[in-house]
Structure 1
Amino acid sequence: MKYYVSVDMEGIAGVVLREQLLRGEPLYEEARRLLTLEANAVTEALLEAGASRVVVKDAHGSGFNFIPELLHPGAEYVMGATRVERRFPGLDSTFDGVLLIGYHAMGGTMEAVRDHTMTSQGWQSLRLNGRPIGEIGLDALWFGMYGVPVVFVSGDDKTCKEAQTELPGVATYATKTATGRHSALLKAPQRVRAELKEAVAAAVRQPVKPAPLRLPGPYELTIRFLHTEQADARRFDGERAVRTDGVTGVYRGDDLIELLAMAF
Structure 2
Amino acid sequence: MKIYVSVDMEGIAGIALPEQLKRGDYFYQEGRHLLTHEVNAIVEGLLEAGATEIIVKDAHATGYNFVPELLHPGALYCMGASPLAERFPGLDESFDGAMLIGYHGMAGAKRAVRDHTFSSASYQHVELNGKPVGEIALDGHLFGARGVPVLLVTGDDATCREAEAELEGVSVYATKYAVARHAALMKAPQQVRAEIREAVKEAVAGRKRCKPHVIPGPYEMLVRYMSTDIADFKYCDGDRSVRVDGLSVLYRDDDFTRLLVRAL
Q: 1:145 to 1:207 in 2, by over 3 A?
A: closer
In structure 1, how many angstroms separate the alpha carbons of the residues matched to 2:168 and 2:86? 26
Q: Match of 2:184, SS?
A: strand
Shift of 1:207: 5.7
Partner letter of residue 89 of structure 1?
P
- Residue 139 (structure 2) aligns with: 139
Provide the C-alpha distance between the structure 2 equivalents of 1:105 and 1:156, rounded to a whole number of angstroms.
Answer: 8
**179-188 or 236-245: bigger deviation:** 236-245
Structure-2 residue corresponding to 1:233: 233
Q: In 1, distance between residues paired with 2:48 and 2:168?
A: 26
The aligned residue for residue 112 of structure 1 is 112
Say yes or no: does 1:11 pair with 2:7: no
Pair 207,8 (structure 1): closer, same or farther in 2 beyond 3 Å: closer
Which amino acid in 2 is paired with 1:182?
H
CA distance in 2, matches of 1:186, 1:217: 39
* Structure 2 counterparts to residues 23-62 of structure 1, below 5 A: 23-62=23-62
- Is 1:260 aligned to residue 264 of structure 2? no
User: Aligned residues, how many?
Assistant: 264
Alignment RMSD, CA only?
0.8
Q: CA deviation at 1:232?
A: 1.2
Q: Deviations over 1:47-99 (max 9, x none)?
A: 11110100000000000000000000010000001111110000000100000
In structure 2, what residue type is equivalent to 1:151?
Answer: L
Per-residue CA deviation, residues 122-149 of structure 1 (Å, 9 max, x unaligned), is 1111000000000000000000110000
What corresponds to 1:189 in structure 2? 189
Matches within 5 A, 1:67-146: 67-146=67-146
1:207–1:245 CA distance, 2 compared to 1 (3 A) = closer
Superposed CA deviations along residues 204-253 of structure 1, whole A, max 9, x for unmatched, are: 01262310011221100000112111111222122211111000001101
1:150 aligns with: 150
Distance 1:215 1:130 in 2: 12
Partners of 1:209 and 1:38 lie apart in 2 by: 25
Which structure 1 residue ranges, 5 or more long, are not aligned?
Answer: none
Residue in structure 2 matched with residue 244 of structure 1 by the alignment: 244
CA distance in 2, matches of 1:34, 1:189: 7
Counterpart residue type for residue 62 of structure 1:
T
- Residues in 1 aligned to 2:100 and 2:69: alpha-carbon distance in whole angstroms: 23
Corresponding residue SS for 1:245: coil
**TM-score, L = length of structure 1:** 0.99
Asked whether the 8 Å contact 2:97–2:207 carries over to 1, the reply is: no
Identity %: 58
